[in-house]
A and B are shown apart, each in its own frame.
Chain A
């Protein structure tokens, strides 16, 4: 199922990503093949420099592979123009970052509404959807607060609400609990898992073993390749 390639949400084949630092070439990703089916819950683990963040950026269309093909929902997205990739990110992919990446001058509600604003959705619909999201994530009384008036957990909930407001098929989380204490982190992970249980594909990059252990599928990376994938046994 996971490696059939047919009907896979993400299908990476022979991916290479080379960075040039001065004279030296760094192979951040090397001969990487990966297939993720819709609705999976995947933890990508590995030491720093193993290429897991590069992989996440690539899947999130923030970066392009040096070689190889990437099919997202059966469509080759590596050949898309930057503008088309932006549209795919807007509608299909949600990002959750370690440092939340909220716009400091915007309120929680405005931060959540940001993807809809960028997509050109009318203000009236935005307001309704933001209101629903604020309620869903327990932030109703925090709507008009700015990020610096929110706790770390609240900030990450705002970030998750923002990542899901466009109802993407895929959520990419880069160390989502990295800046949170254990209890708050636990709460955030539960939120993400709830999303996954409703059918959203969830890919979490972490080096936290306990967090990784909760995922149904675990991918261990080393030197730019997949060292171990629980789906492949």
Chain B
């Protein structure tokens, strides 16, 4: 029997029993759609997180006070015990690192900002001029903090876009004064709206010189030191240099944690990639179920078409031809179901993207190929048994059956 005829015969057989055909394709399409949608969700979450981290800045090295990893025994530990705080002097020292292009210390506290009777609570960030470049932020109006002595803060403030609008409405914020606690600050800049980054919305921050912030919050510690490495290759060098400098400054004790944005990114990438693989695996179970349904439906089909099989045998069909006909039907229906499921899955991904625009829910290519491939393989695999059963039918008994 010619391959084209096998296919055509399978098509006519499939068209001959609409309900069976529809059910089979439905099962297969649900399986494939589940894989496509779930992997789109998983991969969307991965991309979301990766994007969020990327928006922090580029080639970023971050210093946190305290040590989260266990190191070897250090005699200094026996004496001091508690980790030293990060200070502005530490940050200044870090500037010596040759691999570091920019350094921005970060002191953070919550406070109330008021002007002309309006009052708003905001996160006040004490930092320096380079922060805006390290974080890749854009100024909307005016300029960011002045590049002067880190230990002497001027009474100036740069406002996040949202803070500025809430305090001043449509009026110009630039040149106006705001009050934080008992201090007055002149607004010298308003940042361009940039949206969220890792849950911390830059639009809702207020920036003052680091020394001012420390005085205001009555503390001389830093929350973080952000360092921008010269380039991607310099990240690891910068990390090492920063670590060495701070170790030296802290009497040989390594009591800070230096992390790179790349490391965080890679960790999340791996984590969420595994998660996506996991949900794909769960969705693949529905494909296996669909495969079993294919087998079931095809077995019923063989039973229903027993007289036809007998006839085909009487007309000279070999066992191989009968097998091919049934296998072709299973494969064709699986393929059609898979394609429909792919379409449904893509539609589902579109719906998710519409409902949650922040989530870039696109199914990864590997998942789509795997889903379509698995659908075909299960369809064929589970089609083999019914096809073999049909081929093995005794023609006399098959013909006699009503």
Chain A CB count within 10 A is highest, among B13, B310, B314, for: B314
B158 to chain A minimum Cβ distance, whole angstroms, is 77
Report the separation of the CA atoms of residues A104 and B13 in the bound assembly, to the nearest whole angstrom: 10
B88-121 interface with A by 8 A CB criterion: none
Decide yes or no: A115 and B316 within 8 Å by CB, A103-B308, A105-B12, A120-B2 being known contacts: yes
Report the separation of the CA atoms of residues A90 and B314 in the bound assembly, to the nearest whole angstrom: 8
Task: Identify the stretch in B208-216, B292-300, B317-325, B345-353 within 8 Å (CB) of chain A at 4 or more residues.
Answer: B317-325
Chain B contact residues, majority secondary structure: helix
Cβ-defined contact, B316 with A119, below 8 A: yes
B5 within 8 A of A: yes
Cβ-defined contact, B314 with A82, below 8 A: no
A95 within 8 A of B: yes
Cβ-defined contact, A118 with B311, below 8 A: no
Q: Out of B5, B9, B319, which one reaches A83, CB within 8 Å?
A: B319
Cβ-defined contact, A89 with B5, below 8 A: no
A86 within 8 A of B: yes
Cβ-defined contact, A90 with B316, below 8 A: yes
Cβ-defined contact, B13 with A118, below 8 A: no
Cβ-defined contact, B311 with A82, below 8 A: no
B264 within 8 A of A: no
Binding site for A on B (CB under 8 A): 1-2, 4-5, 9, 12-13, 15-16, 307-308, 310-321, 395-396, 399
30 contacts between A and B (CB under 8 A): A57-B396, A62-B399, A63-B395, A82-B319, A83-B319, A86-B316, A86-B318, A87-B318, A89-B313, A89-B315, A90-B315, A90-B317, A95-B314, A95-B315, A101-B314, A105-B13, A105-B15, A105-B16, A106-B12, A114-B312, A115-B316, A117-B1, A117-B2, A118-B1, A118-B312, A118-B317, A120-B1, A120-B5, A123-B2, A166-B316
A86-112 interface with B by 8 A CB criterion: 86-87, 89-91, 95, 97, 101, 103-106, 110
A122 within 8 A of B: yes
Report the separation of the CA atoms of residues A20 and B241 in the bound assembly, to the nearest whole angstrom: 91
A212 within 8 A of B: no
Q: Out of A83, A110, A114, which one reaches B315, CB within 8 Å?
A: A114
Q: A91-B316, A103-B308 are in contact. List 19 more A-B contacts (CB 8 A).
A: A62-B396, A62-B399, A63-B396, A82-B318, A83-B318, A83-B320, A86-B319, A87-B316, A89-B314, A90-B317, A101-B307, A103-B311, A105-B12, A105-B15, A115-B315, A117-B5, A120-B2, A123-B2, A123-B4
A73 to chain B minimum Cβ distance, whole angstroms, is 16
8 smallest CB-CB distances across A and B, nearest first, come from A90-B316, A105-B16, A86-B318, A62-B395, A89-B316, A115-B315, A118-B317, A101-B311
Decide yes or no: A86 and B317 within 8 Å by CB, A117-B1, A117-B5 being known contacts: yes
A60 within 8 A of B: yes
A169 to chain B minimum Cβ distance, whole angstroms, is 14
A232 to chain B minimum Cβ distance, whole angstroms, is 28
A36-81 interface with B by 8 A CB criterion: 57, 60, 62-63
Cβ-defined contact, A122 with B2, below 8 A: yes
- The number of chain A residues with a CB under 8 A from chain B is 29
Cβ-defined contact, A118 with B396, below 8 A: no
A155 within 8 A of B: no
A162 neighbours in B (Cβ, 8 Å): 315
Cβ-defined contact, B308 with A118, below 8 A: no
B16 neighbours in A (Cβ, 8 Å): 104-105
Report the separation of the CA atoms of residues A62 and B396 in the bound assembly, to the nearest whole angstrom: 6
Report the separation of the CA atoms of residues A120 and B2 in the bound assembly, to the nearest whole angstrom: 5
Chain B CB count within 10 A is highest, among A101, A123, A162, for: A101
A185 to chain B minimum Cβ distance, whole angstroms, is 21
Report the separation of the CA atoms of residues A62 and B397 in the bound assembly, to the nearest whole angstrom: 10
Closest residue of chain A to B14, judged by CB?
A105
Cβ-defined contact, B311 with A86, below 8 A: no
Report the separation of the CA atoms of residues A89 and B200 in the bound assembly, to the nearest whole angstrom: 80
B65 to chain A minimum Cβ distance, whole angstroms, is 78
Report the separation of the CA atoms of residues A43 and B313 in the bound assembly, to the nearest whole angstrom: 24
Decide yes or no: A101 and B320 within 8 Å by CB, A62-B314, A95-B315, A118-B1 being known contacts: no
Interface string of A153-175 (1 = CB under 8 A from B): 00000000010001000000000
Decide yes or no: A118 and B12 within 8 Å by CB, A57-B396, A97-B399 being known contacts: no
A63 neighbours in B (Cβ, 8 Å): 395-396
Closest residue of chain A to B15, judged by CB?
A105
B9 neighbours in A (Cβ, 8 Å): 117
Report the separation of the CA atoms of residues A115 and B315 in the bound assembly, to the nearest whole angstrom: 6
Cβ-defined contact, B15 with A62, below 8 A: no
B138 to chain A minimum Cβ distance, whole angstroms, is 68
A87 neighbours in B (Cβ, 8 Å): 316, 318
Report the separation of the CA atoms of residues A95 and B312 in the bound assembly, to the nearest whole angstrom: 11
Cβ-defined contact, A118 with B395, below 8 A: no
Report the separation of the CA atoms of residues A63 and B13 in the bound assembly, to the nearest whole angstrom: 27
A122 neighbours in B (Cβ, 8 Å): 2
Report the separation of the CA atoms of residues A114 and B4 in the bound assembly, to the nearest whole angstrom: 14
B320 neighbours in A (Cβ, 8 Å): 83
Report the separation of the CA atoms of residues A166 and B318 in the bound assembly, to the nearest whole angstrom: 16
Q: Out of B313, B317, B319, which one reaches A62, CB within 8 Å?
A: B313
B1 neighbours in A (Cβ, 8 Å): 117-120
Closest residue of chain A to B320, judged by CB?
A83
A115 neighbours in B (Cβ, 8 Å): 315-316
Cβ-defined contact, A118 with B315, below 8 A: yes
